[in-house]
Structure 1
């Protein structure tokens, strides 16, 4: 049998193809990209939505419906390049969430090494990262169980644009970090800036976190972070009556602490936050129809309890108390909120759930009117109380 020799051209093509295949194999061995998402949809009953009962199908109550991709590349020496691009969407109509932003939930790139991770882009601040996990809204209650209007941002309502964030490695259960978001205003580096610091500790059944967030011109920075256009100070970029009247504040600060303790199948949790809208009357920050001045401060406390009845079935209850103190403004408002939920997991990635929530308001809210019940995201009640029942299904992929 005669051997068949390759021509020089064919040999060159074969060598190039082999080299490309080898390079592709190495690249795939060193890099990874993950596609993931959540689809959450269900039916809501609301006892009072601007005066009438409301039945509606809504998306993303227990967890925001989303689609994302994340990835990493091994750079050698224990260093990795990482990224995440994540959007939010409405299952009921297919629209993008977060004001129509393409990657409205998160969009960042960074480096991860032995001492920690640094990332750049649109991301959650350090208060969210170290404290929000202890709030029931981020466990099993969903956004309807968030603190009124999500005034302390424990439910991830607002992101930090143009931000750099660092989180340390885990040192025997202890970690720390910080966030700084550039305001991007020529001649005034502090305008619209956001910064936060936080720390956490986990040891056995105990977990605790503490953080501080400071925001300049919050109406045009933090509360406008879900706009697809440049925010105008003449518009109120938050809709909740709990605090929308305070958006002329020159600055906003949020001190948060949270903790949980697990005993067998039971978990006890609690959070506390102190929120201040400071130096109101700055109309370059936001509108001031009530002509407020001075500071408006809120204290919020939550206690929650959950129990894993079986490996597939859990239940939980929570109570939240919010009290507003408005210096030189009005008498302030008080909100009492109770919530109960149960989840049944059909598989590791699919569950059905039932949630019920009640809120009662009293006093005078930020609009300088009698306070009305205002559950996060939903249409406020026309009275001082509201009841909401949600039955839903969630699938993760």
Structure 2
């Protein structure tokens, strides 16, 4: 090879390398990845929880929101189309442990595409049912002392490994879209020998907020075992007040026999009494018609003090009046309510997001 030919080859190589570098730089400019998370912990005191007829002092995890970390990203594909991914896990702030051994991302592990027509998501993801009702549940499905536990514990067939408490659904394909004030979502997690989940959810956010959802979860290899759950909600803003009401109805079948039928009601209000403080008062009532004595009434008050956009100091108090065999199907206290008695919970905590 002559010296002139060698130089020409080097020049062509440099030009190709520069072009590839420019292309990579352009792709990087259209992509973004975000690391996010939240840590939430509270000093909590409870009386007569579950089967313990004694006081309980603890550093509780996730007083108003779960402690989580994750990554998410998008890439602009052009013509209004974007690719995206979500990875999300949760952990315990009090001891640093992960929520479930062997499952790195219990909450979300999905990929999809989105545009003005909506989003198609594949993988483990939030149920459209809980997303649809987030704005009307009286305490916005707070991690503690809300309608979240009855929602979750009434949708947990023991031999369905796709569904996780009706909240996180694996092996799933979903469509969701926002069209002005209307949100719609539908999801299907089918087969694979682990049980099927089918979900529909919708909400309207205008002068008032109206929501509804239906979720059906079948146990593995059985059409006669599983749960059905539907939820309706309404929120009415009135200046600094927002009145909210919700109703959940859930049934569970085992070998074709209905073993649980739960009605769960919640009514309450938010009061933004200044720019940094929001007060909430809510009454919950739940009853399982198929289980004698599984009935609980709970009154909850709380105040969230937003020091900044990322940091909230909160105080919560709840008192539950339980029948003879209370459970989290009808109650909102994580440690459980004491039978035929009243259980009280007081908590003071901090939640910080990044």
TM range (shorter): 0.7 to 0.9
- Note the C-alpha offset of 1:119: 0.5
**Aligned residue for 2:346?**
389
**Is the Cα contact below 8 Å between 2:287 and 2:330 reproduced in 1?**
no
Change in 2 beyond 3 A, CA 1:294/1:17: closer
Q: How far, CA to CA, are the matches of 2:127 and 2:58 in structure 1?
A: 32
- Note the C-alpha offset of 1:375: 3.9
- Note the C-alpha offset of 1:69: 1.0
Q: Give yes or no for the alignment of 1:306 onto 2:270.
A: yes
Higher strand share: 2
- Note the C-alpha offset of 1:132: 3.5
**Aligned residue for 1:73?**
75
Change in 2 beyond 3 A, CA 1:89/1:67: same
Gaps of 5+ in 1: 1-6, 186-190, 222-232, 234-248, 283-292
3-state SS in 1 of match to 2:272: strand
**Aligned residue for 2:4?**
none
The correspondence for 2:303, drawn from 342, 346, 366, is 342
**Aligned residue for 2:170?**
161
Change in 2 beyond 3 A, CA 1:112/1:265: same
Q: How far, CA to CA, are the matches of 2:165 and 2:15 in structure 1?
A: 52
Counting only pairs closer than 5 Å after superposition, residues 101-120 of structure 1 correspond to structure 2 as: 101-120=103-122
Q: How far, CA to CA, are the matches of 2:150 and 2:230 in structure 1?
A: 17
**Aligned residue for 1:26?**
26
- Note the C-alpha offset of 1:277: 1.1
3-state SS in 2 of match to 1:18: helix
Counting only pairs closer than 5 Å after superposition, residues 118-267 of structure 1 correspond to structure 2 as: 118-138=120-140, 141-146=142-147, 149-150=150-151, 151-152=153-154, 158-170=167-179, 172-185=180-193, 192-203=195-206, 205-217=207-219, 250-267=225-242
Q: How far, CA to CA, are the matches of 2:102 and 2:167 in structure 1?
A: 14
Change in 2 beyond 3 A, CA 1:355/1:167: same
- Note the C-alpha offset of 1:17: 5.3
Q: How far, CA to CA, are the matches of 2:133 and 2:329 in structure 1?
A: 28
Per-residue CA deviation, residues 143-187 of structure 1 (Å, 9 max, x unaligned), is 23335544456x9774211111111241x31232211112312xx
Instruction: Using the TM superposition, name which of 93-102 and 296-305 deviates more.
Output: 93-102
**Aligned residue for 1:56?**
58
Q: How far, CA to CA, are the matches of 1:60 and 1:157 in structure 2?
A: 19
Q: How far, CA to CA, are the matches of 2:210 and 2:64 in structure 1?
A: 23
Q: Give the TM-score, by structure 2 length.
A: 0.86
Q: How far, CA to CA, are the matches of 1:374 and 1:51 in structure 2?
A: 17
**Is the Cα contact below 8 Å between 2:323 and 2:339 reproduced in 1?**
no
The alignment of Structure 1 onto Structure 2 pairs a total of residues equal to 337
